[in-house]
Structure formats: C-alpha cells, structure tokens
Amino acid sequence: MQKNNAQTLLIVEDDVGLLTQLKWHFSDYNVVVASNLNDAIIAIRLHEPQVMVQDLGLPPDPDGVTQGFALVQQALEINPHMKLIVMTGNDCNEHAIKAVSLGAYDFYSKPVNPDTLELIVQRAFHMHQLEAKNRAFNLSKSSNLKGLITGDDKMLKVCKLIERVAPTNAACLLLGESGTGKEVLATSLHSLSARSDAPFVAINCAALPENLFESELFGYERGAFTGAVKSTPGKFELADGGTVFLDEIGEMPLQLQAKLLRFLQEKVIERVGGRKLIYLDTRIVCATNRNLEEMMAKGEFREDLYYRIAEIQIDIPPLRDRSSDKILLARYLLKKYAQEENLKIVGFTEDAISAIEEYSWPGNIRELGNKVTRAAIMCEQKYISAEDLGLKSVDPIPLNLKVIREGAELNALKTTLNATGNNISAAAKLLGVTRPTLYDLMKKHNLSIN
C-alpha cells in the first residue's frame, strides 16, 4: 500500500517495544509518536493528527498526576474533531468507559493485536473523513440562502428556483409539511429581491381569530367597531413596498379570500369602516401544509385565488426525503446551540447518527431542532447518544464498502428468490446471471431452498 501522508496517526505509548511495533505496523500512515503527556500535546498542536491511539495507563508525571485521563481531556480540547482510541488493560473496563465519557472515540483492551487495532483505526479515519466532508459540504454547497442548510439535490433545486424567482414580482406559493422551513424560504424570497430594504411582514393565518382577520390584514378606521378609537393601518399597508408572507393560507376564511383576490388583481384595499381606496405595492408570498386542490374540490378554497397566489409553486421536500440533510442539519443545530450555551459537546455517537438517519422525522426540522436541543441539555458526555435524543438505537450504518455491497447482494438474492417462488432458473434470469453463478452466490450467503 502506498503511504498516505494525508492521514496522520499519533501513537502515545510509554512501552518502547510496543511503540516500535505499532509504528512499524502502521507505516502506511504518517505516524507520529510520543511517550508522555507533554510530548503528545506538542505533537497534536504541530501535526494535527486525525486519529490518536493512546495508552490510558501512562505513568503519573513527577507531581503524581495521572497522565492518561488528563491527556484525553487536553487532547480533545485542542483538537475536538480528532478520533481518540484508548488502550486499556483487560481489567480496566471502567477506565475505558470513563475515557469514552470524556470524548474518546473508542477503546481497545490489551494485549494488543495490531491487525485488530488496525480495523478500529481504519474506521476512525473513515469517520473523521466523513465528518470533515460534512463540514466542508455545509460551507461550500449549502446554498446562498441565509438560514438554509442543505446538501440535498432536491433542496438545492428549490434554492436555485428561489434565487431565480426572487427578483421578480410573481406571487409564490410554498407547499410543504409543517417544519420544513417555509418561512426561511419566504424570507429568502424577500431578501434576494429589490424589496429587501422594505418591510417583510409575516402573518400566520391559523393564529388569527376569524373576526379579527380583516382588520388585521387591511386595517380599520376610527369608529369602525367598538374599541376602534383611532385609524390603524393593517399588515398589508405596513408592508407597502415590501413583502407579506401569509403562512397557512389554507386557513383563511372564504369571505376574506375574495378580498385578497381583489387586492391581487387591482392592488387596492379598503380599511374596515373606510371608503377610501388605498393603492399598495406589496408582494404576496403564501405557504400551506394543506392540499389546496382538495380544498377547492370541496368548495373550501377559491379556485381563482389559487391561480393568483400560485403563479410560481414551490414544493418543499420533507426532511425524510432529503438524503444526507438529516445528520448535516443535526450537526449544524448542535454546533449552534453548543456555542450559544458554551457546552463542551463534540458531536454524535455512531448509534445516534444511525438513529437520526433511520428516523422518519414527521415534525421535520422543527422536531430535529427540538430533540437536538433537549439532548444537548441532558447529555453528560462529549457525544450525544441515540438514548439522549429519545430515539430507538439501531445497528450502525456500515461504512465498509465491502459490507455494503454484500448486504445489497444478499438482499437482492432474497427478494428475487421470494418473487420467483425459489425457482432457480427464473431467479437467475431476473438477476442476469447463470444458474451456476446463482448457486455460488447462494452458497456464499448460506442461502438454501426448502
């Protein structure tokens, strides 16, 4: 194997013989060695290793301070993204657990088998690489929309559509489940438009009582109703020259839908109790999680209004359909909250990452933010677990390409055999292989036909 100078491995061990053996075994990496806490700290600052293997049983320093745990803490404070693997004696499981609670990535019990240790080291490098790619992805490919973090192709297409539509005056309808970020996108439509210096006024139609709807949107004149002691402009007037965001437009009463339609057609309003026509230059952006076409069929939403507010319709995919966005957003939300609250949490355990990826997130980003915030508060260790998130622990996602391929191969064999009623000829034809090849594959995966 060609030496990979990009992968730096720091080995901290006071046993000269074992240190020499490990340095030779891991010669394919850029190996840096240290035998005590001070040398290790210097090496971490100088070489910035991605992975560190440390003997937890380092002898105490001249002042009697245990170096093992002190090094774990100091190393991760200097380089929090480094993957730290501690080596312990067979009878020191409680020490290994403590090291993991301090932020260590994994532990290995002595006596050392270099081949077994190498598997752990390889996985640590792979995890470090994945996390580094996620961080870089966040910075380079997330989109130009403020407040929107994504690397998903479907969401990036939505972002490009927002960027194209924003400079126009077209009325936009944002469709998506609750918690998918509709208001963030509406804000982006405003901030990327020529109206960005004018007001952006958000109105939640579901939160307004029906009897206050009209006065809130269009304003009222003095004496229009009991308590109207002075003339008051509505939200539309306050947003003159800017943008009005009507969230949950599906909750707007039918009577008011007619007045909104008139405004969209003529750009004029009348205050409640007034007779003066007020001309406004206000852009309308609407959003809903309801099916407006079904509502139109039931007579609950005006068809002519629908075509006015949906000059451009933007469908926002739910979080469950956004490929790698789950963990990308989880890391972003955790980092943001940890910085705000000055928490020392580094990231998520492997079971937490798997649980985040497997969970369907019916509440979308809002639910994800809720669980991450709660976990950050309750977590007593450096890494948040699936239990901290309140999610069911699942088997870690395989990161080894061979394991992934074999899993997919086994699944394809089982599915095809079931579909063909265990007919070998038919199954081989569907899979595009010969009968002998199919038998070899079945033998490889210990599959038999009853």
Q: For the segment 258-278, what is each residue's pLDDT rounded down to a tens digit?
A: 989 989 999 998 888 888 889
Q: Is residue 297 scored above 80 in pLDDT? A: yes
CATH of the domain at 410: 1.10.10
The DSSP-derived string for 401-439 is HHHHHHHHHHHHHHHHHHHTTT-HHHHHHHHT--HHHHH
User: Which residue's structure tokens are 């839908």?
Assistant: 257
Provide the residue type at 372 as one letter. Answer: V
Q: Is residue 445 scored above 50 in pLDDT? A: yes
CATH of the domain at 324: 1.10.8.60
Burial 110-125 (b: 16+ CB within 10 A, else e): bebeeeebeebbebbb
State mean pLDDT over 173-195.
Answer: 93
Share of the chain above pLDDT 90, in %: 37
Does 395 fall in a domain?
A: no
The predicted model scores a pTM of: 0.59
Q: Is residue 172 scored above 80 in pLDDT? A: yes
**Positive or negative CA dihedral for 144, 149, 154, 159?**
negative
Q: Is residue 145 scored above 80 in pLDDT? A: no
Q: For the segment 231-247, what is each residue's pLDDT rounded down to a tens digit?
A: 889 899 999 999 999 99
What distance in Å separates the CA atoms of residue 242 and residue 193, rounded to the nearest whole number?
A: 9
Does 358 fall in a domain?
A: yes
- The answer to whether residues 80 and 34 belong to one domain is yes
State the virtual CA torsion across 127, 128, 129, 134 in degrees, nearest 10.
90
The DSSP-derived string for 71-83 is HHHHHHHH-TTSE
Cβ neighbors of 369 (< 8 A, separation 6 or more) are 333
Q: Is residue 143 scored above 70 in pLDDT? A: no
Among residues 155, 157, 205, which one has the least CA distance to residue 180?
Answer: 155
- The answer to whether residues 355 and 301 belong to one domain is no
Tally of domains in the chain: 4
Give residue 450's pLDDT.
57
Give residue 448's pLDDT.
75
Does 396 fall in a domain?
A: no
What distance in Å separates the CA atoms of residue 304 and residue 379, rounded to the nearest whole number?
A: 52
Instruction: List strand residue ranges (DSSP E) for 111-264, in order.
Output: 172-175, 200-204, 243-247
Going by pLDDT thresholds of 50, 70 and 90, the confidence category of residue 2 is very low
- The answer to whether residues 169 and 303 belong to one domain is yes
Going by pLDDT thresholds of 50, 70 and 90, the confidence category of residue 65 is low
Going by pLDDT thresholds of 50, 70 and 90, the confidence category of residue 286 is very high
CATH of the domain at 26: 3.40.50.2300
Give residue 417's pLDDT.
78
HSE (side-chain half, CA atoms, 13 Å) at 408: 9
Identify any residues that bridge with 272 across adjacent strands, giving them in sequence order.
Answer: 220
Give residue 352's pLDDT.
86
Does 228 fall in a domain?
A: yes
State mean pLDDT over 343-369.
Answer: 88
Averaged pLDDT of the chain: 86
- The answer to whether residues 300 and 163 belong to one domain is yes
Does 144 fall in a domain?
A: no
Question: In the β-sheet with 200-204, what is the strand arrangement from edge to edge?
Answer: 200-204, 243-247, 283-288, 172-175, 312-315
